[in-house]
């Protein structure tokens, strides 16, 4: 995904949760099912998984240096950010709702 496409998604979705990850990342693989299951519980939010190997421009824009990194956006504004996955779905849901 290129930065221009990403910016369009931000405009189309009032709130968006983005996880930056990679297939070769162990913690990312552990967190992936939690991310996917949680996305089904929040239909009003857009959940987007970006592979850092394919979106360098976006990673640079948001200074992603470690993975997994999650960013909660409201439009184009960063509401909150977290480096590192969550051990369980309850923790992830609490992060989203707080």
Q: Residue 59 catalytic?
A: no
CA-CA distances (angstroms) from residue 46 to 1, 39, 72, 75?
16, 8, 10, 11
Instruction: Supply the DSSP symbol for 67.
Output: S
Residues in the chain: 98
Q: Which of 16, 17, 18, 25 is catalytic?
A: 25
Q: Which of 28, 70, 71, 96 is catalytic?
A: 28
Structure tokens at 75: 């439009």
Residues with catalytic roles: 25, 28
């Amino acid at each position: 995904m290129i930065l221009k496409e990403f910016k369009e998604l931000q405009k189309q979705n009032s709130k968006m949760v983005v996880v930056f990850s990679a297939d070769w990342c162990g913690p990312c693989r552990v967190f992936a099912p939690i991310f996917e299951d949680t996305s089904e519980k929040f239909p009003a939010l857009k959940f987007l998984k970006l592979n850092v190997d394919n979106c360098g421009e976006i990673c640079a824009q948001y200074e992603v240096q470690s993975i997994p990194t999650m960013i909660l956006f409201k439009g184009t504004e960063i509401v909150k950010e977290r480096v590192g996955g969550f051990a369980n779905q309850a923790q992830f849901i609490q992060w989203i709702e707080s």
